[in-house]
Structure 1
Amino acid sequence: MTSAEETAAQAELLENVIATAQRLVKAEKDKSKITPTFIAEKVRLATAMFAGDSPYVVDQGKAVVTLIQRFSHRIGKSTTLKDNVGHFDWLTAARKRDWHYWRRYRDFLESKLSDTVVDGLDEATDDILGLLEDPQRRDDWDRRGLVVGHVQSGKTSNYSGLICKAADAGYKIIIVLAGMHNNLRSQTQMRLEESFLGYETTVDRDPGMPIGVAEFGEDLKTNSATTRADNGDFSKAIAKHFHGISPEERPWLFVVKKQKNVLTALLNWIQTRVADSTCASDDRKLVTKLPLLMIDDEADNASVDTGEQMFNDDGTPDQQHQPKTINSLIRQVLHSFTRKAYVGYTATPFANIFIHHKGATTNEGPDLFPRSFIINLAAPSNYVGPARMFGKLTKDGRKGALPLSRDIVDHYDSGLDSGWMPPKHPKTHVPTYDGQEIIPPSLQEAICAFVLACATRELRGQGDQHSSMLIHVTRYVDVQSHVCKQVEEAVRRMRQRIVRGIGSDEILAQLHKLWNEDFVPIRDQVAELSPVEEHPSAMPSWDEIRAVLPEVLNDIKVRPINGKAKDVLDYATPGAALKVIAIGGEKLSRGLTLEGLCVSYFVRTTKMYDTLMQMGRWFGYRSGYLDLCRLYTSPDLVTWFCHIADASEELRDELDFMAEAKLTPEQYGLKVMSHEVLTVTSPLKMRNAQTLSLTYSGTRPQTIVFHRDAKIQQQNLDATDSLIESLGGGSEDSPKYERDGDQDSWPNARLWKNVDVDKVLTFLGAYATHPNATSAKAPVLHEFISKMVDTGQLAKWSVALLGGGTGEGDEHIFPGGTPSTRYSIRKTDDSADPEKLNAKSFAIGVLTDPKDEGVDLGDEVWREALELTRAAWKRDDARNRVTSPSVPSGKGIREVRRKIGGDSDRGLLLLYPLTPYFYKDKARDRLIVPGWSKPIMAFAIAFPASANPISVEYEVNLLYWMQEYGPSE
């Protein structure tokens, strides 16, 4: 037996012991008895059961740690927005009694995951299937929904479970739209062979070796029209061999790319070989006897029609609109079935929600708007997502971030469009550092970090698991080839020196320094930020690391990822624990899973929400090696990642509130369009759109981008002074409230209530917001408020001037006040970078403190906002939500704002004097104020939620978005 076969046999034995011990633990009905000691006893029993069948020794300690983690996992509840018009409830316990596909998939999952996670997946897939239609229902039906997960959080497991249940229920054709590239399609095919088919597909499409669920149930003779091979997609040639499908057959699986030729061949086959009827109104070929389930993986990519459909004066869609090719073909496939369900899966759903809910055309039928439901999935507690990676945003900076990010500053020459990998480079670019075709020191360090991570995992008993490093620095394949050669050379040089022991002092010293100064202390810091059961193991000694370095370096392979299926096949090879450095660009951007990802070296110019978030391959599950993970990227991209992660959280909160209020997906759409950060996505996802339509009801726009121009700063300060002077002396100074015994107070603040809207409108007319701001545009806000006033809303306001802080700057006396230099401090994105002072704008991360929205709320209304916040709140450990809220959220406050003081509604204008813009002059050790030393005036507006919201439109500067945020896909 080879060493690889021995490793595979040992891993299989350990898996069997863990699975058996898990069943023994699960059998205990009194959950209070499930302690580490109890688990260890069951592991000993399970080990004894297998002792006579194997010559290998079981690592019982590893089995115990694995099971302690599994039994401590938690998962929150999914949140659902739904529209049940024309839908009939049908999913009952009786219907599920004899299900086979799901039963064997559940058993398969329970051998690898905790019962809690499997139970959560069972419940979530029941929810989704129940919102689809009963496949045994004979009349026409069409259900379209969207499932929102987290990046790398297990969406494939979810739709695998949904497919199994749909097959059990009677869906006969299952189409999975699996990305744009061969490697992702092949990876998805292999995952479904493991979870649904139970066999490896072969070139001739006959069942091959049994895998996955085959071990947990009978062979269900399921058909697959596609295979795992590079050329295993559906095609004209394949279609010739497939004839009609009878309703009595087992279901057919199609895993296909979103590619014109593939979808065209599939559509033609359906219409010529499967259709059994003709539409009376337009002679379309129709399939009436076979219900269809279509799963759209990464549904916001390629599926969305980026051309803006025109609508007639009466609001009906222009039936002659020509959708983009992929969108058209997907819809035509759906339009060929009288009974069909479409479910999109994505972690970045905002393009899907921008789809017009009324969009429809003659040939394609309705657009893909998820009108039936949107489900927001919760992730298990051991998921590492943006909330854990980057922490929570507060007015004092980010709190609770894992210390795993490392700044890259040497990948290009500052101020020059040159260097190893400048932000903008042509496809002919040759990466050079210091005049040589070599990698920069930061990438050399990242490779060293990967070597140390691999060595530590080996010594922690994880040598039988895959370890990967991601290098993603350019979208051009030719430039990736240069990077690949340079990395191969760096690894080869390191391998030769350490394996041979010749000339190794320098590289060993670099590794030793990184080990002592980074890896050892970071282990303890990660432990402090993690629950006890997730604490990483103790670090081995440097001598132990040094001893395994030659073996580790011999195992490391460097591989380009170019979209071929072979890029993922090695992960599926039994007994082969890969240690791979994967170098790619867009082929790595979506869906493709890099097993055991430890180190990421990431430089991309895009700041587009969905594109950037999807590139976050480093999110996911890192059991036993989270402390070894590293993200090497630019400070600018970390800032944007934090920014969009916060925006995503805010919109998930919005969905939770709307679900509690029993609202529909259609009503959610306007909320997304109005978001101050995510509006950067919409113009590029709707490339023909010249205007953006939004509503501010229930939102809190805030100024986070500012002019540097001193004249404009003076104009905005004058506008603020004029407003305060017009409000008179009737302010409430330093407002405070009891709040159920815990006092809320705003020292140095001034509050005016019952302010006429005209004064707010005058302020907005005089204030100059930056033209590159998104939704916080003073003229658009002015128009929105004016329109709301015309409908009898927003007639009265509260205005608060918020002070505090210890910022430097000239004193300023606001009308009716006292001299003050106590301005609020908000960190700018570039406050320590003198080179950026020539820019015409600067930005801050966050303006408002969430409690500020309650500055004019009496205790009774405040408590009502708290009750609403708690009703919408769900525990979600993956999003750092573990304790029920003790204060209302901004969203909760805006929901009750219309009830303040008995008024029909009341807006709140918050005025913030910010510290003047500084940078540190190190040579003279003092702060320098570039041209402006008075307060910089910023504002936020809390708009009450409205049952009758008004929409406004504004022009979108497409060129600006392209220059500032980079390309979308």
Structure 2
Amino acid sequence: MSESRDFADILKASEPFVRRQIEKTGELVTADLIDSVLRKVEMIDPELFENVDREAVIDEMIRRSSHGIGKNASLVAEDGHEPWLNADRKKGWRYWRRYSEYMEEKLPWKALDALDKSTDEVLGNLEDPLRPGNWDRRGLVVGHVQSGKTGNYTGLICKAADAGYKIIIVLAGLHNNLRAQTQIRLDEGFLGYATLVNVDHLPLVGVGELDKDKSQQPNCATNRSDKGDFDTATSRKLNVKPEERPWLFVVKKQKNVLERLVYWLENHAADAVDPDTGRRIVSALPALVIDDESDHGSVDTGEVPIGDDGQPDLEHSPTVLNGLIRRVLHTFSRKAYVGYTATPFANIFIHERSATAEHGPDLFPSAFIISLGAPTNYIGPGRVFGSASSVPEDLPLARRLDDDEHMEWMPPTHKNGWSPRIGGERVLPRALQEAIRSFVFACAVRKVRGQGHRHSSMLIHVSRFTSVQGEIVAQVEEFIRHMARRYDRNIDLTNLDALMRSDFETRFHPEMARVRDAFPDVPQGEDVTWSEVRAVLPFLLQDIEVRGINGSAKDALDYAENDKKGLKVIAIGGDKLARGLTLEGLCTSYFMRTTKMYDTLMQMGRWFGYRDKYLDVCRLYTSGEMIQWFGHIADAAEELREEFDNMAAINATPRDFGLRVLSHHTLTVTSKAKMRSAKPVHLTYSGSLMQTVSFPIDEKHERNFETGSRFVASMGESRPLQDQHFLPEGQNWNGALWRNVPAIPIVAFLRSYQTHSKSYRVVPPMLADFIERMSATGELSNWTVALVGSAKGTEGAIGGTKVGMLERAAIGAHTDRYSIKTLISPRDQTIDLTQEQYEAALALTRETWRGDAERNEAKGPPDEPGGPAIRHVLGFGHAALGLQPDRKRGLLLLYLLDPDKSSCPALKGRDPALAWSLSFPGSPSKLRIRDADYMANSVLWEAMVDDVV
């Protein structure tokens, strides 16, 4: 028996013991635990261990059992749907079984279990392919950027084929490289053979090496070559029969390809005629359409297809790609559509009642929306850049590039043919040179750690013009060649080697330790010394290739062709790199291209994903402004997910869900064309938390402190903040509390306080107007005000009341303002809740808790209420607990920020910075904010038609 076979047998024999031990005791998976299990297995079958590296087995067992995964949340409409998926229907499934076995080597057990459950949930919300008659189910699956959506829909495809779906169409991006990359993944995960061209035999790959029965292999109408899309020759000869094995089509979202597919469906696959319209339709072959990156290319960006009466315009002409995708679906009498995206900002603006006679309904996810949880080892924007609910340290993962030298080399706005130069010289900016050295260090560290055969990539994304990218390729090639020659020949190496050693020991190596400390839940590699790195540099530098990415399929194929040795590549490109394409083993990114759209900017984040045992060597070089934008997008995405969770907790449907997206003064939600059915609306502050994070440092600083002093003094005597209605055991508070404060002084304070001009979301006059209007109706008329301090902080005072000041370090090198990441602590919104309110909010928090590390949620259920749940309970009560709403109560929290510990030189020796936050209970009130702050989809703005501006 071979070593690999013994290795697999040991894993298979040991897994049940480990799982039972974890479930029974809740123990963490450690080397000692695995070793104890292996000793038991060895007693049963000692021969298994004769030729196997025991440490390697332990490492693999830890990998498979160590990661958890967040819970999904779902909105489902059951109208016309017949539940069908049960254990009996899953008996004998072949495609899923072999895919599951294949993924065992790639995913931890919990992640594989979660994949099984989530794909069951999606499939179960589609229709039974064996159900007769006409049916149409459309849904949306929302994941995280680079979080494994392809793996999820590959599992869904396997199960759909097992269940009886005969035509499976995957819409795979706009470019050849992404289509080919998707084809390769599906060759490995579903087909089981490599769809090569001009070969006598198609080699088995992936699942095909586990199940060599070719009689059960699915058919495929496309291949992995550069010209492997659905072509004219294939369309002329392809004939599909209902009793055959399933057929897979992996196609681009491109006009000619989709027109060819529609023509084939109508003229070769159709077997019936619609009695009402005379259209040729496919009735014998149930179809599943998977739309990868469904917010890109698929959304109708034409004029609003809805008349003044609110009814769809049946003669509306959608945009070409949207119309063709809908025609593909409209050709089948039995069909299901599932869009996959990490940025649903465009999908939620699809009008949910748009339909035409020729194209059928639009792609609104009327059947379901499922939000996938992220695995604990996933690194996304929330963990890299932080959000309003998370304040990571200033990690070296993201390095600011506020660099005049870079701007000279590559201005933000430049024309095609621009020649990057510094002082007229053809040299790289120092920051890019450092980034390239970081990539070299990353490759070296990974090689020392035994990951040298894995792919390692660097991304340089600074221009959208191919000609400019070509010049960057030449300059980077020359830089790498210069390093490689010196290390290879040991000529003129002294200065370069000294620079490399100094950079590694004083910058890169200390940063590695900081990253490992900051992410204890992500598997980390062992420490590495300079001497170990230096030993591999001469050989490593010879392996680094520099590539321009132009959108051809070859860009995607290289990883597969170099799978044994591991590709070391610096990829230089523009828009072709912006969406969908996975850069395997991405370690270093130099990213300065800007866009003002939430979805495009987030999709450009190729650096998000999984970085087990090499996260500490990953670096992102970008501008301070981009870092702030990503932080804001993380907030916007989290607000969407919180809204989604609250709706899921009350079993709402997609139709009920009036989705909204937080606006930004510079960033737009998505392209204006995609928002054709979205309108600016007067949305309420109800259910929101507003907090000041940007403060003026001119004379307004003192005026704001004086305003706060007058306000605090006007409220009279306070009680200790510790003296609340309900205080959970062990909580201690520093500060003062006032109850039953009327709205008038709150409004007066807000009208007098002046935020910095860059504070676009927190606008005190708008907040004052809203409170004034709401209080006139009886809501927000009775306020709790708390001056919240820190017991460890230096004592300060305002309006005669003393409190420990908070320490909040400045972010960004601003000279005109003092900006902080976030102000309040999570528990601050629990101040002065009754016990019943506290417990109801805690119950709702646990209902909506997903255990999603990317959302900075703890591994275990929360033991304190979250802000969204508190605001929801105050606004709407909790029916299950018999709790009534309390919409009269608003919460104003005041804070003094220590000026001498602000890291803002302009505040040294001055008054404390007065910061505040407002927590508004939810409300069904029709009163709205005076100015539009959100973009709302058709469901929401139809419900608020009187408030549309």
Match of 2:229 in 1: 233
TM-score, normalising length: structure 2: 0.86
Does 2:219 match 1:223? yes
Of 322, 325, 335 in structure 2, the residue corresponding to residue 327 of structure 1 is 322
Instruction: Say if 2:807 and 2:901, in contact at 8 Å, map to a contact too.
Output: no
Instruction: Say if 1:701 and 1:776, in contact at 8 Å, map to a contact too.
Output: no
Letter in 1 for 2:409: W
Match of 2:730 in 1: 742
Give unpaired runs (5+ residues) of structure 2.
23-28, 878-882, 936-949
What is the deviation of 1:45? 11
Match of 1:55 in 2: none
Does 2:653 match 1:659? no
Letter in 1 for 2:162: D
Instruction: Say if 1:750 and 1:800, in contact at 8 Å, map to a contact too.
Output: yes
Name the SS of the counterpart of 1:69 in structure 2. Answer: helix
Match of 1:78 in 2: 72
Does 2:555 match 1:567? yes
Instruction: Say if 1:919 and 1:927, in contact at 8 Å, map to a contact too.
Output: no
Aligned residue runs from structure 1 range 424-573, under 5 A:
424-531=413-520, 534-539=523-528, 541-573=529-561
Instruction: Say if 1:557 and 1:579, in contact at 8 Å, map to a contact too.
Output: yes
Match of 2:838 in 1: 862
Of 618, 637, 640 in structure 2, the residue corresponding to residue 648 of structure 1 is 637
Aligned residue runs from structure 1 range 278-297, under 5 A:
278-297=273-292
Name the SS of the counterpart of 1:147 in structure 2. Answer: strand
Does 2:863 match 1:895? no
Letter in 1 for 2:484: R
Does 2:83 match 1:89? yes
What do residues 419-440 of structure 1 show as CA deviations (whole Å, max 9, x unaligned)?
Answer: 1123332233221234311111
Letter in 2 for 1:859: Q
What is the deviation of 1:23? 0.9
Residues 143 and 793 (structure 1), Cα distance of their counterparts in 2 relative to 1, 3 Å cut? farther
Instruction: Say if 1:673 and 1:682, in contact at 8 Å, map to a contact too.
Output: no
Residues 381 and 505 (structure 1), Cα distance of their counterparts in 2 relative to 1, 3 Å cut? same
Aligned residue runs from structure 1 range 332-351, under 5 A:
332-351=327-346
What is the deviation of 1:777? 4.9
Match of 2:400 in 1: 407
What is the deviation of 1:228? 0.7
What do residues 431-459 of structure 1 show as CA deviations (whole Å, max 9, x unaligned)?
Answer: 12343111112222222222222222222
Q: Take 2:541 and 2:309, find their aligned partners in 1: how far apart are those partners?
A: 68
Match of 1:963 in 2: none
**Greater mean deviation of Cα atoms: 621-630 or 779-788:** 779-788
Letter in 2 for 1:862: Y
TM-score, normalising length: structure 1: 0.84
Of 234, 239, 256 in structure 2, the residue corresponding to residue 261 of structure 1 is 256
Q: Take 2:410 and 2:380, find their aligned partners in 1: how far apart are those partners?
A: 27
Name the SS of the counterpart of 1:349 in structure 2. Answer: coil
Instruction: Say if 1:153 and 1:379, in contact at 8 Å, map to a contact too.
Output: yes
Residues 698 and 18 (structure 1), Cα distance of their counterparts in 2 relative to 1, 3 Å cut? farther
Match of 2:193 in 1: 199
Instruction: Say if 2:136 and 2:334, in contact at 8 Å, map to a contact too.
Output: yes
Name the SS of the counterpart of 2:409 in structure 1. Answer: coil
**Greater mean deviation of Cα atoms: 582-591 or 233-242:** 233-242
Does 2:848 match 1:872? yes
Q: Matched residues, percent identical?
A: 43
Name the SS of the counterpart of 1:210 in structure 2. Answer: coil
What is the deviation of 1:468? 1.4
Of 355, 358, 361 in structure 2, the residue corresponding to residue 363 of structure 1 is 358
Q: Take 1:60 and 1:913, find their aligned partners in 2: how far apart are those partners?
A: 56
Match of 2:887 in 1: 905
Of 115, 120, 123 in structure 2, the residue corresponding to residue 126 of structure 1 is 120
Match of 2:204 in 1: 210
Instruction: Say if 2:875 and 2:886, in contact at 8 Å, map to a contact too.
Output: yes
Q: Take 2:411 and 2:281, find their aligned partners in 1: how far apart are those partners?
A: 53
Match of 2:880 in 1: none
Does 2:295 match 1:300? yes
What do residues 820-849 of structure 1 show as CA deviations (whole Å, max 9, x unaligned)?
Answer: 89876655544x443xx3xxx875433443
Match of 1:36 in 2: 34
Q: Take 1:365 and 1:265, find their aligned partners in 2: how far apart are those partners?
A: 19
Match of 2:940 in 1: none
Q: Take 1:533 and 1:621, find their aligned partners in 2: how far apart are those partners?
A: 9
Name the SS of the counterpart of 2:890 in structure 1. Answer: strand
What is the deviation of 1:479? 1.5
Instruction: Say if 2:194 and 2:204, in contact at 8 Å, map to a contact too.
Output: yes
Of 560, 577, 583 in structure 2, the residue corresponding to residue 588 of structure 1 is 577
What is the deviation of 1:122? 0.9
Does 2:106 match 1:109? no
What do residues 730-781 of structure 1 show as CA deviations (whole Å, max 9, x unaligned)?
Answer: 765646435222335351x45342635x766677677777787665456765
Residues 890 and 808 (structure 1), Cα distance of their counterparts in 2 relative to 1, 3 Å cut? closer
What is the deviation of 1:13? 8.0
What is the deviation of 1:349? 1.8
What do residues 277-320 of structure 1 show as CA deviations (whole Å, max 9, x unaligned)?
Answer: 33344443322222111111111222223346254454323334
Residues 154 and 15 (structure 1), Cα distance of their counterparts in 2 relative to 1, 3 Å cut? farther
Residues 460 and 846 (structure 1), Cα distance of their counterparts in 2 relative to 1, 3 Å cut? closer
Name the SS of the counterpart of 1:668 in structure 2. Answer: coil
What is the deviation of 1:956? 7.9
Letter in 1 for 2:203: M
Q: Take 2:490 and 2:854, find their aligned partners in 1: how far apart are those partners?
A: 45
What is the deviation of 1:46? 10
Q: Take 2:135 and 2:302, find their aligned partners in 1: how far apart are those partners?
A: 27
What is the deviation of 1:563? 0.6
**Greater mean deviation of Cα atoms: 847-856 or 218-227:** 847-856
**Greater mean deviation of Cα atoms: 466-475 or 276-285:** 276-285
**Greater mean deviation of Cα atoms: 165-174 or 288-297:** 288-297
Q: Take 1:665 and 1:869, find their aligned partners in 2: how far apart are those partners?
A: 21
Match of 2:391 in 1: 398
Instruction: Say if 1:807 and 1:821, in contact at 8 Å, map to a contact too.
Output: no
Match of 1:630 in 2: 619
Q: Take 1:848 and 1:872, find their aligned partners in 2: how far apart are those partners?
A: 21
Instruction: Say if 1:235 and 1:261, in contact at 8 Å, map to a contact too.
Output: no
Instruction: Say if 1:523 and 1:628, in contact at 8 Å, map to a contact too.
Output: yes
Residues 224 and 788 (structure 1), Cα distance of their counterparts in 2 relative to 1, 3 Å cut? farther
Residues 252 and 237 (structure 1), Cα distance of their counterparts in 2 relative to 1, 3 Å cut? same
Of 797, 817, 821 in structure 2, the residue corresponding to residue 845 of structure 1 is 821
What do residues 151-182 of structure 1 show as CA deviations (whole Å, max 9, x unaligned)?
Answer: 22211111000000001111111111111111
What is the deviation of 1:38? 4.0
Of 175, 180, 183 in structure 2, the residue corresponding to residue 181 of structure 1 is 175
Name the SS of the counterpart of 1:600 in structure 2. Answer: strand
Match of 1:883 in 2: 860
Instruction: Say if 1:691 and 1:956, in contact at 8 Å, map to a contact too.
Output: no
Q: Take 1:293 and 1:400, find their aligned partners in 2: how far apart are those partners?
A: 45
Name the SS of the counterpart of 2:843 in structure 1. Answer: helix
Residues 127 and 366 (structure 1), Cα distance of their counterparts in 2 relative to 1, 3 Å cut? same
What do residues 915-936 of structure 1 show as CA deviations (whole Å, max 9, x unaligned)?
Answer: 69999999xx87589xxx7777
Letter in 1 for 2:783: S
Does 2:272 match 1:277? yes
What is the deviation of 1:97? 0.3
Q: Take 2:303 and 2:764, find their aligned partners in 1: how far apart are those partners?
A: 27
What is the deviation of 1:233? 1.2
Does 2:600 match 1:611? yes
Residues 331 and 533 (structure 1), Cα distance of their counterparts in 2 relative to 1, 3 Å cut? closer
Match of 1:962 in 2: none
What is the deviation of 1:89? 0.8
Give unpaired runs (5+ residues) of structure 1.
1-11, 53-57, 959-969
Instruction: Say if 2:577 and 2:604, in contact at 8 Å, map to a contact too.
Output: yes
Match of 1:755 in 2: 742
